[in-house]
Amino acid sequence: MHQRKSRKLLIYFFLLIIISSTNNISLKNLEFKKVKDIEVSGLGEMENKLIIDKIKNLNLSNIFFINKSEINNLISSNPLIEKYQIFKSYPSAIKIMIKKTKFLAKINHNNEIFVIGSNGKLIPNNFQTSDLPYIFGKPETQEFLKFKQVIDQSKFSFDEIESLYFFPSKRWDIKLKNNILLKLSNTSTMDSLNYAYEFLEDNNVRKFTTIDIRINNQIILNE
């Protein structure tokens, strides 16, 4: 009985060696096609091509063993990109769909003019952005994005703004396109904005240049 079991084990062992050897030969003879086609969409033609060229320089081997971290790092370093998705198209193509960041405002950073994107990144001002509001002061991009969110949730439209002023005390002023300056406190900003909006709706304030709403439920007008 013991001899029969030993013979069976030997037979299984030799069969395993034969099968493994056959599979190894097949794998060695199997060739994976290299990535040949790279498609990028979502940015301008020039920006899409630039990303394609950079990805090609990564010398991707084949679609099954793509190092996604390399592609992720390359794409994430582009300040124009808000979100993206990577799709594999077998046998030898990849497709990258990009959502471009929205340009929100201009700011001076280290004596150069940049655009702040909705992704919180600073973008070189190489685009036609004359209609964007200008930020005076030195806020962090996240501070600006947080303040813009307050504006968007108020009764004002961000499109009504010509410029914004940020102070070291974390306080903001807003200059509207009708040349009226809104002076805000660093607290109760939402309520102050809505209070100012309703006041402007109900009153003819063309002769006033400044509306000071730093004190809750109180408006001070200056010519």
Same domain, 211 and 115: yes
For the chain, the distance separating the N- and C-terminal CA atoms, rounded to the nearest angstrom, is: 110
Does 177 reside within a domain? yes
Domain total of the chain:
2
Assign 29 a pLDDT band (cuts: 50, 70, 90): very low
Does 118 reside within a domain? yes
Same domain, 110 and 217: yes
The mean pLDDT of 163-190, rounded to a whole number, is 92
User: pLDDT at residue 21 above 90?
Assistant: no
Closest by Cα among 158, 57, 26 to 103: 158
Does 113 reside within a domain? yes
pLDDT for the residue 68: 78
Q: Show the tokens assigned to 86.
A: 């990577």
Closest by Cα among 211, 208, 179, 214 to 197: 211
Same domain, 120 and 153: yes
Does 205 reside within a domain? yes
Rounded Cα distance between 119 and 81, Å, is 8
CATH number of the CATH domain containing 171: 3.40.50.11690
Rounded Cα distance between 3 and 18, Å, is 23
Does 11 reside within a domain? no
Same domain, 42 and 77: yes
Same domain, 57 and 162: no
Q: Which amino acid is at 207?
A: K
Same domain, 42 and 128: no
The mean pLDDT of 152-172, rounded to a whole number, is 95
pLDDT for the residue 164: 97
pLDDT for the residue 25: 46
pLDDT for the residue 98: 96
Give the side-chain half-sphere CA count within 13 A for 111. 0
Rounded Cα distance between 172 and 189, Å, is 9
Residue 84 three-state SS: strand
Does 58 reside within a domain? yes
Q: Which of 100, 121, 142 is the last residue of a domain?
A: 100
Give the side-chain half-sphere CA count within 13 A for 108. 7
Does 29 reside within a domain? no
Same domain, 84 and 108: no
Per-residue pLDDT tens digits for 81-103:
999 998 888 777 889 999 999 99
Give the rounded percent of residues in the chain with a pLDDT score beyond 70: 83
Kindly report the pTM of this predicted structure: 0.78
Measured on CA atoms in the order 181, 186, 190, 195, is the torsion positive or negative?
Answer: negative
Same domain, 217 and 124: yes
Same domain, 83 and 126: no
Tell which wins on pLDDT, 41 or 217: 41
Same domain, 139 and 90: no
Residue 131 three-state SS: coil
Average pLDDT, the chain: 84
Q: Which of 80, 100, 120 is the last residue of a domain?
A: 100
Q: Which of 100, 123, 138 is the last residue of a domain?
A: 100
Assign 17 a pLDDT band (cuts: 50, 70, 90): low
Q: Which amino acid is at 220?
A: I
Does 28 reside within a domain? no
Same domain, 76 and 170: no
Per-residue pLDDT tens digits for 154-163:
999 999 999 9
Rounded Cα distance between 209 and 152, Å, is 23
pLDDT for the residue 13: 53
Rounded Cα distance between 30 and 201, Å, is 74
Q: Could you tell me whether strands 103-109 and 134-136 are parallel, antiparallel, or unpaired per DSSP bridges?
A: parallel
Cα angle 152-158-160, degrees, rounded to a multiple of 5? 140
Which residue, chain included where needed, has tokens 């209070």? 195
Range of the domain at 149: 103-222
Per-residue pLDDT tens digits for 102-133:
999 999 999 999 999 999 999 998 877 778 99
Query: Where are the extended beta strands (E) located within 53-111?
Result: 81-89, 93-100, 103-109
Same domain, 68 and 147: no
